[in-house]
Chains A and B, each alone.
Chain A
Amino acid sequence: MVEKQKKIKPGALCELCHGRKAVMKRPKNLQKLCKECFYNVFETEIHNTIVGHELFKKGDRVAIGASGGKDSTVLAAVLKTLNERYNYGVELVLLSIDEGIKGYRDDSLATVKRNQKQYEMPLEIVSYKELYDWSMDEIVSCAGIRSSCTYCGVLRRQALDRGAAKLGIDHVVTGHNADDVAETVLMNILRGDTARLESSCSILTQSSGSPIKRSKPFKYTYQKEIVLYAHYKKLDYFSTECSYAPEAFRGTARELLKSLESIRPSCIMDIIYSGEHLVLGQKKKVTQQRKKPNKIKNDMEQEVRSDGSIKIKQNETKDGNRCEKCGYITSNRICKACLLLGGLEANRAKLDIEGNTAVDGAAKLTRTLEKLAF
């Protein structure tokens, strides 16, 4: 784009270098910056997050969970830059999940393949189909579109771990940004999901017994700045909404957060700050009244799931336990993925008889039909 030669007003100058025209206003502190100073501040903040939390060690091999979307594309670009600039000495690998969503994931994977060349990183693609023998398109045609995010979320988490294990890598970084973290905190508060509230703010998570840790170097990075960085640097990213309906509750929480941000931009950092400092009180009182004293200890460990149901204790399973079916780490006898897939298998036979051939790209077809109707 051709820059127009206009006289720069004094108030329009960058507040850091005082030399160039400011092009953006940081939502975090309302500072007006020029492109160069913005790049510098943006990258340095992420560097400080990485160093401050000791996310990497020299010689580490790190997998970047890459979807081809803005967050993971910027993450790959920034980590490559920082690794070279500050000599982290880590080896970066792109790890992508192919959920099997025609007209969505196949296009975004094409972006990741371009990124592979642009950033000169190895790329590993793990697909639901080869891992679970189910593609998302098949799952949706069997289980319906409404629960698509539930299935996809559970399966993706495991697929990332398995992909990393396949590569012999024990650290996966994801592009979750400050907006995502704040959104999750908000959702957990709104749902009363206090169990998840505590862990949703940690920058580095690892289930005990699992060799794979996950971290979010963008935990304190605003979505707006990620989009601006990608835009100004002309990064190649994919931006189409998933063909399947996003989880309605998350969508509403996101809108609420965006509306709040437009009035008070710092609220995203403030929500994360609150989340980090919330300390859950003990749930002693209720159980003490109901149960015998010698049972208190066990009752306190009872897990209340987000849907309000209570986990039934099966032989006192602990974190670090293995799924009986697939061997994946789980706190239950059978992992969530196997549980969901088991339910699907029961319906698969029925599906075949019905002769459903339009499984592939079912969502894309629906979209196309919708457009035709108008």
Chain B
Amino acid sequence: MGIKIKVEFLGGLDVISSGVREHKCILPLEEGDATLKDVIQFITKNVITDPKDIPVFICDETVRPGILVLINDTDWELEGGEDYVVESGDVFTFTSTLHGG
């Protein structure tokens, strides 16, 4: 059946997905079984346009430090980080903080 989610790349991070900021995705897992870790894996396989750009997003098997992760607009640190259990309709926002101001 899959879980409907939305993935957003902000703060210039859209460079890894051909400049597209919003992605509506269906995570091919059952609700209750999937965590943010699965979403991150799904993104690296299906959303990032060029595999060469994976290191822009991933570092040491997790989201690169300096990329801010929000789950439904809440800091992922308050939601259990990678172990957050994905629900249908969730919005995951990844914002790069590394660009100049």
Which residues from chain A sit less than 8 Å from chain B, CB to CB?
A: 1, 3-4, 12, 21-25, 32, 67, 69-73, 175, 177, 179-180, 223-224, 226-228, 231-232, 239-242, 246, 254-255, 258-259, 261-262, 374
Contacts and interface: CB of A to CB of B under 8 A. Distances in A.
Given A241-B12, A254-B98, A22 B65 contact: no
Contacts of A71: 101
A255 B99 CA distance: 12
A23 B99 contact: no
B78 A239 contact: no
A241 B100 contact: yes
A70 B101 contact: yes
Nearest to B13: A239
Contacts of A24: 74-75, 78
Interface string B68-101: 1010111101100000000001010101111111
A228 B65 CA distance: 15
Contacts of B77: 25
B65 A261 contact: yes
B11 interface: yes
B100 A4 contact: no
25 contacts: A1-B72, A1-B91, A21-B74, A22-B74, A22-B78, A23-B73, A23-B75, A24-B75, A25-B77, A67-B100, A70-B99, A72-B101, A177-B101, A180-B101, A227-B97, A232-B73, A239-B96, A239-B99, A240-B99, A241-B12, A255-B65, A258-B65, A258-B98, A261-B65, A374-B50
B55 to A, nearest CB: 11
Given A69-B100, A231-B93, A262-B65, 11 more contacts: A4-B72, A22-B78, A32-B78, A67-B100, A179-B97, A227-B11, A227-B95, A231-B10, A231-B70, A241-B12, A242-B100
A177 B95 CA distance: 17
Nearest to B6: A1
Contacts of A246: 100
A232 B12 CA distance: 17
B101 A175 contact: yes
A94 to B, nearest CB: 14
Contact of A12 (B78, B91, B96): B78
B78 A240 contact: no
A258 B101 contact: no
B2 interface: no
Contacts of B28: none
A242 B99 CA distance: 8
A258 B11 CA distance: 16
Contacts of B12: 239-241
Contacts of B10: 231, 239
A69 B98 CA distance: 11
Contacts of A72: 101
